[in-house]
Structure 1
C-alpha cells in the first residue's frame, strides 16, 4: 500500500497524534507537509520514506496564514492528494462558564480550517480523480462530558465529514473521520491539569469504560489512518471510525 508519488498535508503535526500521522505517511512513501502553530521541523528529522518533507508554521484559525500554507504547498508539490485535518484545541467549559469568544475560537480552530483546506485542495484531487480526506473527530460526542464548545465542534466535524463525503464521492475522493478516545499525549496531560485532575485519574476513568484495558497510543490511530488513505479503503467514505478500545461501542 505504497503512497509514493502522493503528497499528504497534516495539521497539528508537531507532536502527539499528528506527529505519528506524519511519520506513518512518510514511511508509506508520501511527500509530507507538516503544519502546526509550533515549528514541526524537528519532528521531520530522521523520518523514513523516500518522499520529500516540509514543515510549516501556521495558526490555522487565521485565514491569511492558511492561504500562505496552501500557496507554499501547491508551489512545491502541485497538489495535495491526502489531507489530514488533525489540529484541535480542547478547552473545558460548561454552559455557565463558556464565553462567546471561547466558543468562536474553538470553531475557528477545530472546524473552519477543514472547510478552508478542503476548498483549496479538492480541485487538485478532482483533477486527479483520487483523494483522501481524514478528519479528527472525538468519542466524546457519544459520552457524558460537559465540554460544551469542544463537544459541539467535534459533532460538527462529524457532520461536515459526512457532508463532504456526499459531495465529493463522485470525484474519487473519500472523506472519513477518526474518533479517538483519550490518548496519552502532551496535549492530554495539559488538558487533565487544566481540569483539576491528574492524568492517572483521567486514564483510570476511561479504562474502566473501555473493553480493551490499556491506554490508547498515537500508533493506534496512525495504523487506521494508514488504511483509510490507502487504495484498500477506496470504498469507505462518510464514516466516523471510533478508535477507542470499545469505549463507545456504537457506530453512531
Structure 2
C-alpha cells in the first residue's frame, strides 16, 4: 500500500477521524495536506513518514476558501492524487427548530464541499489516469435517527459518491465512501456532554447493536481508507463501506 509520491488532501483533518486518516496516509508515504477550519499546523507537525506536510485553514462551506486551498495544493504539488472529504458538522435541530440557514450550512459543509474539491482536483487525476476520492458518509442513513439536516446530508453524500463514480470511472478515478457508526472522537464526546444521555450511555446502546462488542475508534476507519486509496482497490468504486462493527448488515 505504499503511497510514495502521491499527494493526499484530507479535510476535517485537525482531530478525530480526519487526523487518523492523516497519520495513516503519512505513514504510508504520501504527501499530506491537512485542511481544517481550526489551524491544523500543530497536528501536522506530529505526523511521521517520508512525505511532505502542509496544514491549511479553510471553512469548506465557503467556496472561495475551497478554491484558495485547491490553488495552493496545485501550485505546490501539481495535482492531488487522493482526496479525502471528511469535514462535516452535525448540529441537532428537529423540524420545529431547524432554520433554513442552518439547513443550508450543513449541506454546504457536508455535501457541496465534496463537489467543489472534486471539481478542482479531478482534472489532474484524469491527466494522470489515476485518482482516489473517499468521502465520509454515515451509518445514520440506515437508522431511525431524527437529526434532519445531518441525516439528509449524509444520504446525499452516498448518492453523490455513486454519481461521481459513474462519471469518473473511465478516467482511472475511483470514488467511494466510508460510513462510520458511532466513533469515540472529540466531536462526538463534546456533543454528548451537552445533549441528553452521557457518551457512555450512548456507546452502551450502540455497542449492544454491534456484532463486534467494543467502541469504534478512529483507527478503525483509517485501515479501511488505506485499502480504498491503494492500487489493490483499483476495481472498487461507487461503494459505501460501512465500518461500524456490524450494526449495518445490508448495503445502503
Q: TM-score, normalised by structure 1?
A: 0.99
SS in 2 for 1:23: helix
Who is 1:60 aligned against?
60
* Cα deviation code 1:32-67 (max 9, x no counterpart): 000000011111223221110000000111111111
Distance in 2, Cα, partners of 1:162 & 1:189: 31
Q: Please list the CA deviations of residues 142-168 of structure 1 after superposition, one character each: whole Å capped at 9, or x if unmatched.
A: 001000000000000000000000000
C-alpha offsets along residues 79-128 of structure 1, whole Å, 9 cap, x if unaligned? 00000000000111222221111100100110000000000000000000
Aligned residue for 1:32? Answer: 32
Question: How far is the alpha carbon of 1:194 from its aligned partner?
Answer: 3.3
| Structure 2 partner of 1:17 | 17
Q: What is the match of residue 160 of structure 1?
A: 160
SS at match of 1:157: helix
State the match for 2:170 in structure 1. Answer: 170
Number of residues paired by the alignment? Answer: 252
SS of 1:216's equivalent?
A: coil
Tell me, in whole angstroms, the C-alpha distance in 2 between the residues paired with 1:97 and 1:202. Answer: 23
- Aligned match of 2:75: 75
**Separation of aligned partners in 2, 1:135 and 1:24:** 16
- In structure 1, the partner of 2:229 is 229
Q: Provide the secondary structure at the position in 2 that maps to 1:194.
A: coil
C-alpha separation in 1, matches of 2:156 and 2:191: 21
CA distance in 1, matches of 2:22, 2:49: 11
C-alpha RMSD of matched pairs (Å): 0.7
The answer to whether the aligner puts 1:101 opposite 2:93 as a matched pair is: no
State how 1:74-223 maps to structure 2 within 5 Å.
Answer: 74-223=74-223
CA shift at 1:139, angstroms?
0.2
Residue pairs, 1:34-49, within 5 angstroms: 34-49=34-49
Q: Structure 2: which 5+ residue stretches go unaligned?
A: none
Cα distance in 1 for residues equivalent to 2:96 and 2:248: 27
Query: 1:162, 1:112 → 2: CA distance?
Result: 15
Give structure 1 stretches of 5+ with no counterpart.
Answer: none
1:181 Cα deviation from its structure 2 partner: 0.5
> 1:205, CA displacement in angstroms?
1.0
Contact 1:90–1:191 under 8 Å retained in 2: no
